[in-house]
Amino acid sequence: MELPKLAIAALGGTVSMQAMNAGEGVTPIISGEVLLDSVPELATLARVNVETLGLLPSASLDFEFLLSVLSWASFQIRQGAVGVVITQGTDTLEETATFFDFLWDHDQPLVLTGAMRSAASAGADGPANLLDACRVALAAQSRQRGVQVVMNGQIHSASVVRKTDSLALQAFSSPIVGPAGMLVENAIHYLHPPTQRKVLPLPQHTTQRIALLEASLSADSLMLENIIELAYDGLVIAGFGAGHVPENWAGVIETIAGTIPVIIATRTGSGPTAQSTYGFMGGEMDLIRKGASMAGFLCPRKARILLWLLVGCQQQHRLASYLSKD
């Protein structure tokens, strides 16, 4: 019986990193083709097409490059791939997964993975993560689940996954809901059923700019006051607690919200913003009256991506429907 077709794209990141000389830091130099050699077992599972689309640390990825990767991945599906795997750095993995998830309109799975230890490290986790990601991408039960992140034996939905540790192998988690599934003895076990997704059209514009500011104790409002003058097209604020800002920010936000979309998220790392609990100036009820939108369960970074895409396809008027989906 013919093996299924699987596509793998390598973008760089720690999974592809080694040091050129002793004592130097690691940099991305290992191609996808070489990385594939580290998982010979994959040849018994699928016919693999691997391409190196970049060798970048994930902090240097940008939206336009990711749109080209998305186009490549969609082409692989049209060419008969049953799934697509992308390897990249973990620093922005949660953001890349979210970006793709808002745009991935195929039933076939798109799976992202990476590594916390470089390829030259003792106990490098890249090969195991890659093999796990490929198993997930090949599994029939992975269909209609959108984009997923596979790391350290766990499967996370793109919409909720976050990097919650800087260096540990167990660096990724899905606050509140937990992982979507796990791999046990090479078998995929899903813990949650697929959820309904809203997919956006591809953006027609890519020059829009969305600012992300974080509220902090005794913060001044100078940057906030200049958002419009700096020609930003949207603003996301990582607010205190359930979506709150300093009192001196509240009036400025009202002015901004009259010109561009403003989203208030929580900086806490877990839990939603409130809607009708706090009535003080700078609380969520006050900010809603002033024209801001509350992010709900969407974290500030994911909210910024959503707003960038909505503005890019001129769908910002639909913001409320995307923020209420959770």
**Residues in contact with 118: Cβ distance below 8 Å, sequence separation at least 6, in sequence order:** 14, 17, 18, 19, 26, 124
pLDDT per position as a tens digit, 121-164: 999 999 999 999 999 999 999 999 999 999 999 999 999 999 99
Identify whether the C-beta of residue 39 lies closer than 8 Å to the C-beta of residue 126.
Answer: no
pLDDT per position as a tens digit, 280-313: 999 999 999 999 999 999 999 999 999 999 999 9
Please check if 44 is assigned to a binding site: no
End-to-end, the C-alpha distance of the chain in Å comes to 42
**What was the pLDDT predicted at 325?**
54
pLDDT per position as a tens digit, 250-274: 999 999 999 999 999 999 999 999 9
Average pLDDT over residues 42-49: 97
In this structure, are strands 210-214 and 234-239 parallel, antiparallel, or unpaired? parallel
| Residue ranges of the chain assigned to CATH 3.40.50.40 | 210-323
Question: Sheet of 110-113: strands edge to edge?
Answer: 47-56, 5-12, 83-87, 110-113, 147-151, 154-157, 181-184, 187-190
To the question of domain 210-323 being in CATH 3.40.50.40, the answer is: yes
| Better-scored residue on pLDDT, 195 or 148 | 148
For the ranges 20-29, 167-176, 207-216, 301-310, which has the lowest average pLDDT?
20-29
d(CA 6, CA 284) in angstroms, rounded, equals: 46
**What was the pLDDT predicted at 326?**
46
Q: pLDDT grade, residue 15 (50/70/90)? A: very high
Fold of 5-190: Rossmann fold (3.40.50)
Average pLDDT over residues 244-248: 97
Tell me, yes or no, if 14 is annotated catalytic.
Answer: yes
Determine the 3-state secondary structure of 70 from DSSP: helix
Please check if 58 is assigned to a binding site: yes
Please check if 90 is assigned to a binding site: yes
Is pLDDT above 90 for 24? no
For residue 182, what are its two tokens? Answer: 């796990």
| Better-scored residue on pLDDT, 325 or 153 | 153
Indicate the average pLDDT of the chain: 96
| Residue ranges of the chain assigned to CATH 3.40.50.1170 | 5-190
For residue 61, what are its two tokens? Answer: 């990825």
Q: Considering only CA atoms, which of 53, 42, 48 is closest in space to residue 12?
A: 53
Is pLDDT above 90 for 120? no
pLDDT per position as a tens digit, 49-103: 999 999 999 999 999 999 999 999 999 999 999 999 999 999 999 999 999 999 9
Is pLDDT above 80 for 195? yes
